[in-house]
Amino acid sequence: MTRFQNGSRLLSYTFSRSKTTSSVSPTTALLQGNFQIQHSRHFSNLASATTKEEKEPWWKDSMERLRNIGISAHIDSGKTTLTERILYYTGRIHEIHEVRGRDGVGAKMDSMDLEREKGITIQSAATYCSWNGYQVNIIDTPGHVDFTIEVERALRVLDGAILVLCSVGGVQSQSITVDRQMRRYEVPRLAFINKLDRMGADPWKVLNQARSKLRHHSAAVQVPIGLEDDFQGLIDLVKMKAYYFHGSNGEKIVTAEIPVEIEALVAEKRRELIETVSEVDDKLADAFLADESISTSDLEKAIRRATVAKKFVPVFMGSAFKNKGVQPLLDGVLSYLPCPLEVSNYALDQTKDEEKVVLTGTPDGPLVALAFKLEEGRFGQLTYLRIYEGVIRKGDFIVNVNTGKKIKVPRLVRMHSNEMEDIQEAHAGQIVAVFGVDCASGDTFTDGSVKYTMTSMNVPEPVMSLAIQPVSKDSGGQFSKALNRFQKEDPTFRVGLDPESAQTIISGMGELHLDIYVERIRREYKVDASVGKPRVNFRETITQRAEFDYLHKKQSGGQGQYGRVCGYIEPIPQGSMTKFEFDNMIVGQVIPSNFIPAIEKGFKEAANSGSLIGHPVENLRIALTDGAAHAVDSSELAFKLAAIYAFRQCYTAAKPVILEPVMLVELKVPTEFQGTVAGDINKRKGVIVGNDQDGDDSIITSHVPLNNMFGYSTALRSMTQGKGEFTMEYKEHLPVSQDVQMQLVNAYKASKTAE
């Protein structure tokens, strides 16, 4: 504490530097407020006395000691178990609970009752911990393809990730999906081969699969000592030391020399590691080619450079369940994954026609933060923010760039699963949550000095719908409240109203996704809902060009209605980004230009429900070439109706077809059941596109219409004595066969006449 005499006033201020806060992590020191200032008016005079050189290393050190990582993988690879161990070793929790815990507690990160019952992760959960003086923000994500949006939004805001692979299952279908998402957001990653204690564990097979299936440029940085029941510890190929994990929870790490019997294997694997890294790192390549001895720190720096540049994926090993290999993985996160300053992030400047702006990622700039996840908490809406630049403080005014609203930050917290800790301020690179801020997922917040928006996430289209309604009429209010909340939280969950049957339709990514939401309505809002038969999101499209020429004329005393539209409709070529195009090709003013938007609106409305089965029409281009208007009787309504009737008139002539969602289905079944399962896929009008052998299992890849996949999980279990498993994700919409089209059209007509 230093005191300055300034006139008659005493000014006291505290200046805490990271050197003085060895017991507290630098980031925490920052959050606790590094300047406690009284009479801040005089501070600017003093600040100039403090040189910039003195201040910068402190701030830089705080950023360099920060890691934002996500843990993602296929279902049941051990993501949540791994996070649980990380929290235990970093002192965030004091006892370990299992995912399907018999003690009824469940893992810390699975805070929902449904997650604990089913033993799966449904929502990504954020937490933070410190390890060796570094602060690590972690997001644990779901592995099930139905909750893929949770992985998307986590990877959108993270600087690095751990891809968990099962040493028995290897690279599975969802591992490929998750890896694709990591590539999309350019996230550097480490791989962790888990479950080395299980029967049939083979990490080298998994490493080769990662190279072939995921096209990873990777090599092991560890070698296991023993496998399956004999798995004892690990050898670090960088430091050339053996690690054994003792104590009831593997908390005591014993360092020893490398056992003689595996010295040859270790030497071979270390050489392989150096060769693989030197292929993508010039500095190491020079030393390797000159046959110089490569020191531990040279190799470590080279691995870091290659990993941060996304040219190399270091592979770690262990068994989270048996508490082995987690601490070296944490060291690897600090050593090889980037800090927020090493990742380049872009924003779009709204004042300069969405020009790309590189963000500095420092606390010095203007505030730029992205709301990447919303949750309804006990105290209202909880908004998760990733801060890309600047500082946010409790009580500050921030601006939502997407809506233009100015909002005060009433409460700022850091999350630890479903618990929270109040903080006063947070800076660039951190993940925090704010209360009472009304916004949508994907909105950008600034301090008002800039108009930047962050690029949005990729949101997949929903593939399945259910009709849903509350059992009792009294619970309508709670029912709509639940649906509104879930829609805000989850961009892949959509709610609509069927105009014909007046039923509420919910759409999502699959059966499990919608089941979970129906169950959550029952538990969290105490509303029993009855669910109708799942409805597939068919689409309609046209296959040839058709002309239209329609005159809408109505005279009924007073002002009449008059509008004539001429032109043609035609299919958009496949692979086009747009689903609907409207071209105004009229030369001159036969139709006044103020009526053109009404005509476009009419065509759009008509395309919302095709005449075959009442589903939306896609891949459609409408060209307006001619028309006529009346000086008195023409109106926006008249032209809108003319467009609707013109579309219906020419639609049949354009040879419409029905499109159905086709799913990419990957099955893993014991080889003895391969014939039965393949026969069943053919029965479901599926096309088998791949068949691989993996030990005693067959992996069948096929494209199957979603309409034929209902209840498949039950059918697969009975065909394979419960040993088969499958995952499916949306691939594309394709035309249905002629007989199916006839069935669907007849069923639609029958339901219309029944009404």
Phi, psi of 730 (to 5 degrees): -65, 135
Kind plus residue range of the DSSP H or E element containing 573: none
The response to whether 140 counts as a known ligand-binding position is yes
CB 444 within 8 A of CB 454: yes
Q: What single-letter DSSP state applies at residue 159?
A: S
The response to whether 196 counts as a known ligand-binding position is yes
The response to whether 177 counts as a known ligand-binding position is no
CA trace torsion 553, 554, 557, 558 (10° rounding): -60
CA–CA gap between residue 651 and residue 527 (Å, rounded):
43
CB 706 within 8 A of CB 536: yes
CA angle 718, 532, 471 (to 5 degrees): 120
CB-side neighbour CA atoms (13 Å) of 737? 7
The response to whether 74 counts as a known ligand-binding position is yes
Helices (H) and strands (E) in the chain, counts: 19, 41
The response to whether 473 counts as a known ligand-binding position is no
Phi, psi of 281 (to 5 degrees): -130, 115
| CA distances to 257, 383, 532, 623 from 565, in Å | 85, 48, 41, 10
The response to whether 498 counts as a known ligand-binding position is no
CA 251 to chain centre: 33
CB 661 within 8 A of CB 733: yes
The response to whether 76 counts as a known ligand-binding position is yes
The response to whether 78 counts as a known ligand-binding position is yes
DSSP track, 175-188: HHHHHHHHHHTT--
CA–CA gap between residue 459 and residue 19 (Å, rounded):
45
56 token code pair: 């910068």
The response to whether 269 counts as a known ligand-binding position is no
The response to whether 733 counts as a known ligand-binding position is no
Phi, psi of 289 (to 5 degrees): -70, -30
Phi, psi of 378 (to 5 degrees): -65, -25
732 token code pair: 């594309």
Other CB atoms within a 10 A radius of the CB of residue 545 amount to 15
For residue 79, count CB atoms less than 10 angstroms from its CB and return exposed for 0-12, middle for 13-18, buried for 19 or more.
buried
CA trace torsion 33, 38, 44, 49 (10° rounding): -80
Kind plus residue range of the DSSP H or E element containing 232: none
The response to whether 197 counts as a known ligand-binding position is yes
296 token code pair: 């531990």
CA–CA gap between residue 385 and residue 388 (Å, rounded):
9
The response to whether 705 counts as a known ligand-binding position is no
For residue 10, count CB atoms less than 10 angstroms from its CB and return exposed for 0-12, middle for 13-18, buried for 19 or more.
exposed
The response to whether 492 counts as a known ligand-binding position is no
Phi, psi of 311 (to 5 degrees): -105, -10
Phi, psi of 647 (to 5 degrees): -65, -45
CB 366 within 8 A of CB 351: no
The response to whether 80 counts as a known ligand-binding position is yes
The response to whether 142 counts as a known ligand-binding position is yes
CA–CA gap between residue 372 and residue 456 (Å, rounded):
9
Residues making up the binding site: 73-80, 140-144, 194-197
- Binding site per annotation, positions for GTP: 73-80, 140-144, 194-197
